[in-house]
Each structure stands twice: as C-alpha cells, then as structure tokens.
Amino acid sequence: MNLLKTTLNHFKPYWRKLLVALVFAIIGGLFTIVPSILVKRLVDDVIVGGDLDFLVWVVAGILGAYLGKSLFETMQEYVQVKIGLDVITDMQIRAFRKLHRTPMSFFSKTPRGDMLFRLTHDVESIQNLNNTVVPRILQQVVGAIAAFSAVFVLFWPAAIVMFAVFAIYIVPSFTLGKKMRKMSAVQREMSADMYQHLQESIESVRLVRTYQTQDVEVGTQEKKLSDWKQFSIRAALIGKVNWRLGNLFNIAAPGVVMLIGGWAIWDGTITVGTLVACLSFIPIMFLPVRSMAEHALTIQQVIPALQRIYEYFDLPEEHGEKLPSFGQVKGKIDLENLWFSYPGSDKQVLKGVSLSLSQGNHIGIVGTSGGGKSTLVQLLLGLYEPQQGSILIDDKNLFEYNRNSFRQQVGVVSQETFLLNSTLRQNLLYGKPDATMEELEQAVEAAGLKELVDSLEERYETVVGERGLKLSGGQRQRVALARAILRQPPVLIFDEATSSLDGETEERVQASLEKLIPGRTTITIAHRLVTVRNADVIILLDQGVVAEKGTHEELLLMRGKYYELYKAQYSELEKEMIG
C-alpha cells in the first residue's frame, strides 16, 4: 500500500477546510516577516537616519504583526487539529470495521494485544503528531518561505547561502531519518509485544496466583521492558544527533551571511539595516528544520504506526458486500461431504461429514474432545469455509449469500458465555436492541431468569461486571439463553451450553432449553448425553468422521462407541439396567 497516497486519500473529504487552514497559515507567515522588515527601517531610518518620529510606527507595526500572527496561527491550528482528528477517527473506524469483516482465521493467528495496540497506541502516536507537531511545522514552513523570499529581494547572495546550507543539511538528516524510521518500526513491535504480555498476564491473574508464577510473569515483563529501554535509548541518541546537526548549521549560516554582508556594506551594495534584517530572517528560515530535528523521533514513529494501521485496510473480507440476502430462513440444513482443516494446520478436523436436518428437527452431536463437534458449528455459522463440500440452508449455498443475514436468524448459546461489562438490560438486548419490554420479560420468563431479576435491587439496570463475573455460571447461561429467545430464531445452536454447570443448575437450564426447542431447527452439541437423549437423531463424531448415527435408543442397541460413552457417564445401577 502506498503510504502517502493512502494518507492523502483520507484528507480528500476535508480539502476545503485544508484550504482555509492554508490561507490562515499564509497570512500568519506574512505577519511573521513584518518585524524583520521593520527592524531594517529601524536601523536605517531611525538609528542611522535619526528619524525618531518613525520609531513609534516601527514599535506599533511590530506589536500589530505579533498580534496578527498569533490570531491567524491560532485559527489555523484550530482548523488543522480538527481536520487531523477527523482523519484519525476515520482511520480508526475504518480499521475497526475491517477487523469485524475479516475472516475468523485472522483472529486465530493474531494476538489480541497487537490488535488493541494498533487501534489505540498507534493511533495515539499519530494523534500526538497531529495535535502538536504538524500545525506548527506548517506555520514554520510558510514563514520560512516568506522569509526566504524577503531575503532574496533584499540581498539575494544571502538567500543563496542559506539555501546551500539547508541543502547540505538535508543529506545527513535524510540518512539519519531513514535509520530512525527502521528503528521506530522495531520499537513499536516491541511495545506491542509488551502490551500483549501485560494483557495476557492480567487476564490470567487467577491462573498466575493459583500456580504462584507471579515472579515469572514480572521477570518476563522486566526483560521485555529492559530490551525496549535499551533500544529506545539508541533511537533517542540518533534523534539528538540529528537535532545537534540542525543546530550546527543554524549557527554556521549567520557567520557566512555576516561575512558576505560585511563586504557588501563596505562596498555600498547594501545598508546595515538590510544585513540586520537578513540575519533576523535566519532563525525564521531554519525554524522548520530545527523543529523537524527536535521532533524527528516523534515523526519517524508515526510512519511505522501508519503502516501498521494501514495493514488492516488491506485485510481480506469474509464475503463481498453485494452478495444477496438469505431472506426468511425456514430451517432446512444440509451439510454435504465437509472436509476442513484450520489455517496453518495440515490436520483434517472434519473428514467427509454429511448430515441433513428438516425444518424443525432436533439433532444432537456427541463425541470425545477433538472430534470436530464445535468446528462443525463454526462452519455452519460461516465463520470458516470448508476446503471441500457444501453447506445448504433451505437449499441455498451458505457461501453464495450474505452470511450475516443468516446469522441474524440463528440463536447461539455456547459453553463460554460472553457478557458485556454493562447492565443486564443491555446484555439481554444485545441481539435485538429494538425489543419491547413485553418481549424482554417473556424471554426472561422463558429462560428461568425472572427470579434473578426480581432479586436484584436495580433489576435490569444492574451492571453484571466484566464478562458477567458478578453472576454465577448458571445465571450467565440463562442470560445467554434469554438473549437467544429474544431473537425468536428459526435455528438454534447449543454448543455444550450446560457442560460447565453443576447437576442442579444444569437441570434447570436444560428445562429452559427444552421449552425453546419445539418448532425450531435445533443443533445441540453435548458432552453429557442426557442433554441430547430426546433429539430426533444423534450423530457421534470421532476423529472428524460420523462414526454412528441414530436415535438414543437405536444407538444404545448398537452397543458401539455411543453405548460406551453412555455407560461411562452413569451410575452402576444404570449400567445394570441397560446391560
């Protein structure tokens, strides 16, 4: 991706505001050179010429110029900072939107800490540059151009000398800048790695405390910080070298100008006032150079930050936006000869899996861990695409339609229920924000959640905590169930929804699930076979293959793997009753 072209494209919608900012900067730049021109008149007309009456006008002119400069530069900064923040917001939203459209395979291989670092810290570094450096550099560049033009008119040899000094400085500055850019890219990657470890360590604080690995975690972070610190010192030193180099040329220029200016005064080519004015223009001309050298590290850090954000703009999308919608889903599902392996792995998780569900059927999927049960659900939701085979919803190929239009009509309750750190109401309405209060209460009643709501002092406005940690496991599952009920979906998927619950809680949640199933196409993935014994058909997945298929009673009569699983899960008395 072309960095400059992409950045300019983000500024295109704001070109009128940019033009206004440029006009303000030009006017401010013109005011910048007024004091130096008046200094020439002060020396030539007041000090040398003795015109004391003109002194008042010189002083008034200088004060007026500073006021005008301050006014227009303030307006330019306001407009430019606003434009910059608009552009940065656009970039962040564009990257964020892209993440929500990219295939799930991206998330399986990209650390969350790196994603968050790009969307926060990388954006923040760009914002810092926009708020502080860019507006001032624009003012200084406009002022430098105005100053150079004035010097060229007053005494062109001085302008040539200044231009030559600037040209000589550019070569080493460009070389150092290139080095700093590469180092800044590495520095940001190191920062992202530290951020990832911090996030992971804090999120797994219970595990760390349980296994007493606090010292290991702190030591790891200390090592990462030490490496980052050493590298940052080297980068900062290069930035200081660049800044000192700029100062050197800033000191050298006046000496050369005084030398040729002195000769010019001696032979009567220019006046003393002209030389003084030219010398006063030098700081203005070199101000953008010094500023860029002073903020070189900040500027060079922004380039890799932009590159890291722009990488997200090029991410592939899960599906095209112009694909047709499914329309109203009835619930007929056909999976035909599915073969699948996760990206980056050669292991086939599913091997020729086929199954068919009529509208309103209930299918149970069981098997040992790693058999491919949850993978099958992820394919059905279109989160991954099979390497071979097809998924038909109401005889329509899932991957030839907008998958979001199908997912909107699916209710999913999984083992790991994710709740927002928000109110109970917002969590319940997450899948259907426009639901009425009557619909909400019906869903809460159906999910067996009414008792909990009534026991809470703030009822639906109770904040459930991060990931719902203020609620028990069973309560979280009922919230997820109510959320699914609220959508009134034609297709239901229960992915080991009760496997992490105790027996009593499981029975209560399971009773709520059973009420929801009639009339809906339902897929229940279960470890405990009791949750699927009433299914119309049960399939047993083993190593990615459909090993057995039938009703609960039929599978027991086969005395195969399902029979062995059933015996393993129940008491000796039950084993005697079935065997």
Contact predicate 342/488, CB 8 Å: no
**CA pair distance 463, 470, nearest whole angstrom:** 8
Q: Which of 378, 398, 390, 387 is nearest to 341 (CA)?
A: 387
**CA pair distance 363, 377, nearest whole angstrom:** 12
The pLDDT tens digits for 108-131 are: 777 777 788 788 777 777 777 777
Pull the structure tokens for residue 303: 């380039």
DSSP state of 423: B
DSSP secondary structure string for all residues of 126-140: HHHIIIIIHHHHHHH
> Which pLDDT value is given to residue 577?
46
> Which pLDDT value is given to residue 579?
47
> Which pLDDT value is given to residue 507?
67
* Chain center to CA of 525: 33
DSSP state of 337: E
Contact predicate 469/499, CB 8 Å: no
DSSP state of 78: H
Q: 552: which residues sit within 8 A by CB, 6+ positions away?
A: 529, 532, 533, 534, 535, 538
Contact predicate 356/334, CB 8 Å: yes
> Which pLDDT value is given to residue 67?
92
The pLDDT tens digits for 352-382 are: 888 888 888 888 888 777 777 888 888 888 8
- In percent, the amount of the chain with pLDDT more than 70 equals 88
Contact predicate 484/476, CB 8 Å: no
Contact predicate 492/450, CB 8 Å: no
**Which residue type does 317 have?**
E
Count of all residues that appear for the chain in the document: 579
Contact predicate 339/345, CB 8 Å: no
Q: Are strands 350-357 and 362-366 parallel, antiparallel or unpaired?
A: unpaired
**CA pair distance 510, 478, nearest whole angstrom:** 10
Q: Which of 313, 302, 317 is nearest to 10 (CA)?
A: 313
Q: Which of 397, 414, 418 is nearest to 513 (CA)?
A: 414
> Which pLDDT value is given to residue 502?
57
**CA pair distance 271, 214, nearest whole angstrom:** 75
Contact predicate 378/407, CB 8 Å: no
**CA pair distance 398, 48, nearest whole angstrom:** 89
**CA pair distance 123, 273, nearest whole angstrom:** 49
The stretches in the chain having pLDDT less than 50 are: 572-573, 575-579
- H or E segment at 548? strand 545-550
HEC string of 87-118 equals HHHHHHHHHHHHHCCCCHHHHHHCCHHHHHHH
CB atoms near residue 564 (< 10 Å): 10
> Which pLDDT value is given to residue 541?
84
pTM for the whole structure: 0.69
Pull the structure tokens for residue 198: 């911090």
Q: Which of 378, 409, 404 is nearest to 391 (CA)?
A: 378
Could you give the 3-state DSSP secondary structure of residue 541?
strand
